[in-house]
């Protein structure tokens, strides 16, 4: 999907365009899914040892999950770095 460049105009004095509405919607879904994943992982860690998770996991699937979470983590780190650069001006 093509990336959409948003205007620098403040949103407080205008309606959001359709792509901005989609972005806000996607962000809300992302926040929900991140919270859900955090809850699931917290329960797994509380209920089971790391050794048992390794023992019973489908290793190729677990390895893929770990790679995906690594990719997501790096994306969040890049967002954090962008935010910090903007804050420093």
pLDDT in tens, the chain (89 residues): 667 676 677 777 789 999 999 999 999 999 999 999 999 999 999 999 999 999 999 999 999 999 999 999 999 999 999 999 999 98
Q: What's the residue count for the chain?
A: 89
Q: Look up the pTM and report it.
A: 0.79
Torsion 17-6-12-78 (CA) sign: positive
What's the CA gap between 30 and 32, in Å, rounded?
5
Coil, strand, or helix at residue 58? Answer: coil
């Amino acid at each position: 999907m093509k990336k959409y460049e948003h205007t620098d105009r403040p949103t407080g004095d205008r309606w959001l365009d359709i792509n901005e509405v989609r972005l806000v919607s996607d962000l809300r879904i992302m926040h929900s899914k991140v919270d859900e994943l955090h809850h699931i992982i917290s329960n797994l860690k509380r209920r089971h040892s790391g050794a048992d998770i390794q023992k019973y996991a489908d290793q190729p699937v677990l390895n893929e999950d770990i790679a995906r979470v690594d990719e997501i983590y790096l994306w969040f780190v890049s967002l954090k770095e962008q935010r910090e650069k903007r804050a420093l001006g």
